[in-house]
Chain A
């Protein structure tokens, strides 16, 4: 996981890996959507060519991202950088589901 990349003037993205055992099931998906909702930026998630709105639970659940899946988070807007940081941090921490 490198630093966020600037792909055009506003849009930044970062690719993260799902690390928690159960993958992005209902509860993590809900947390991600709630977190995304706090930013004004347009945030998208992409997995294997399927791109969805990170602020839509219907979309995020459709990704069915399992452990090991690569997830591309991209954002566009005033707080895009903060948004990408926050979301990739949540995914990177395994949504708080990693056991000590």
Chain B
């Protein structure tokens, strides 16, 4: 019988295929003694597992080298060396021989010992490496216990739907997109960093299935609908028929919206709305352009650092930024400086374990504390201004001091470039991202030091409502239409207009049909979104009237609850847009 699981959508697309359960945690090892005559066998088993793990690591390293380059691939070297390390090998063999322990138990004990020795030094650089140690423990122990390995995925003959408890950005870069039909997880949310990567890589995904990873088994047939967030195990004939129908509907819709890309982004009553794209990965600029984006509203630079073990140099960054500028010779390219911290960690920074990472050392706070990293980026950004309308924006600014400090650094770097005779545009634009209530309330002050505002609604909503956007349990409380959010958007738009600077929105709200309608109504007419949403939002823009949007926004501003705000917007849109084509993709339920 079909098992139908409902979760939340995370990345578009409908797929069917076999399941691959990606289970990557430390296995439980039973305390097991062996007899004297089994000692040699257990040592041989340990050696086999080590060799096997080394082989696997070398394969992963080769793949990483092909995808990310030789330097990045070296991140697997420490693990390869640990497999040969005298402390590991002799220590484990000694426990097998002298304490009569099974290979798995002996290896686990030895590694735990080494780990506690490392932990004693408590130096962040060492603690960072505990991840390597743990990864290796998992790999070898799973082999000794006869469990599968995620890299088996690469040897599958057929692409599969990956089912996991949760994913991390570093785990997802290890997956070969060609082998992954889709991703279904027990936990996580659509705003998790890995989910964003899945959207960029065009891999359908859905999250929050509770216990999917323990209910699914390898090779089982399944259907994953990333559009409505449904996962069906062992689908029966009726589910398959429904799947085919939905897939057909989805591809028809795709075809229709792709034709819209070439059309103008203007409302029925003649208001132009500038649609820009969000870029997560370097190859996306072309795709954004193909979908009708006229510029880049949010260039996330974290791909340059996350999962890497060395700082990206100026040249590499400059090339990446220049590439984007050249893809949009006539459009704005807004590049956000490193937004590290939260759930995005580079390996070369010693990010501390924090109680509240989203309230912690992240974004501009990290950059101002890491002048080497930040200055290199600013210099590369300045150089890119020679190739187009490249603008810089600073994430998580809370007060004027921060932006002043950035300006001062920029001036110094610009001076350096001038001295070295390296070209850049001296009229560069520096913008502030409005992502905290502090910034929204202080917008008038910030406007004096900013050339533009870009509202990052994902963070603004989570900080305004004190709702962790990665917490599945709170998903219902994360509501972009909360009156407190609407009022802040209104306030920032008004301040920006008064100061004569552009206000744009680059959060997910801009790709929400009601969100886009509200923003337009608040006179925020530059919207940026991930590529899959561009065409459908353009269709919405072309179907609505600016006048209706303004009047709906006015009513929404007076509405007492999120529900009432939503109601105002739905009524304002009226019959002009068929909202059902968007339904299911947004956790927010529209009034029936």
On A, residues with C-beta under 8 Å from B are 21-27, 29-31, 33-34, 53, 55-59, 61-62, 64, 66, 97, 99
Q: Output the least CB separation between B402 and chain A (Å).
A: 24
| Pairwise interchain contact A21-B372, C-beta atoms closer than 8 A | yes
Q: How far is the CB of A100 from chain B (nearest CB, A)?
A: 9
Asked if B85 and A57 make an inter-chain contact with CB atoms under 8 angstroms apart, the answer reads yes
Chain B residue with the shortest CB-CB distance to A99:
B313
Interface string of B299-328 (1 = CB under 8 A from A): 000000000011101100000000000000
On chain B, the residues within 8 Å of A21 by CB distance are 311, 372
CB of B254, distance to nearest CB on chain A (Å)? 43
Shortest CB distance B345–A (Å) = 14
Question: Knowing A21-B372, A61-B118 touch, does A26 contact B75 (C-beta < 8 A)?
Answer: yes
Residue of B nearest to A26 (CB): B78
A24 to chain B, nearest CB (A): 8
Bound CA–CA A22/B117 (angstroms): 22
Complex CA gap A64/B127 in Å reads: 9
Contact B114 A25, beta carbon cutoff 8 Å: no
Count residues of B near A (Cβ-Cβ below 8 Å): 29
Is B132 part of the contact surface with A, judged by Cβ < 8 Å? yes
* CB 8 Å contact bits of B96-124 with A (1 = contact, 0 = none): 00000000000000000010011001010
A5 to B279: give the CA distance in the assembly, Å.
56
Q: B77: which A residues are within 8 A, CB to CB?
A: 26-27, 30-31, 34
Bound Cα distance A24, B372 (Å):
17
Identify whether the interface residues of B are mostly helix, strand, loop, or mixed.
helix
Of B88, B132, B314, B348, most A-chain CB atoms within 10 Å: B348
Contact B78 A57 (CB under 8 A): yes
Pick from A23, A25, A53, A64: contact of B86, CB below 8 A: A53
For residue B118, which residue of chain A has the nearest CB? Answer: A62
Instruction: Tell me how far the C-beta of A30 lies from the nearest C-beta in chain B, rounded to whole angstroms.
Output: 4
* Residues on B with beta carbons closer than 8 Å to the beta carbon of A66: 125
Chain A residue at minimal CB-CB distance from B88: A58
Bound form: Cα–Cα A62–B127 in Å = 9
Report the Cα distance A21→B398, complex, angstroms.
Answer: 29
Of A27, A62, A97, A99, the residue contacting B126 (CB under 8 A) is A62
> Which B residues are in CB contact (< 8 Å) with A29?
78
The answer to whether B118 and A25 touch across the interface, beta carbons within 8 angstroms, is: no
User: Which of B74, B87, B129, B132 meets A59, CB within 8 Å?
Assistant: B87
How far apart are the CA atoms of A22 and B310 in the complex, in Å?
8
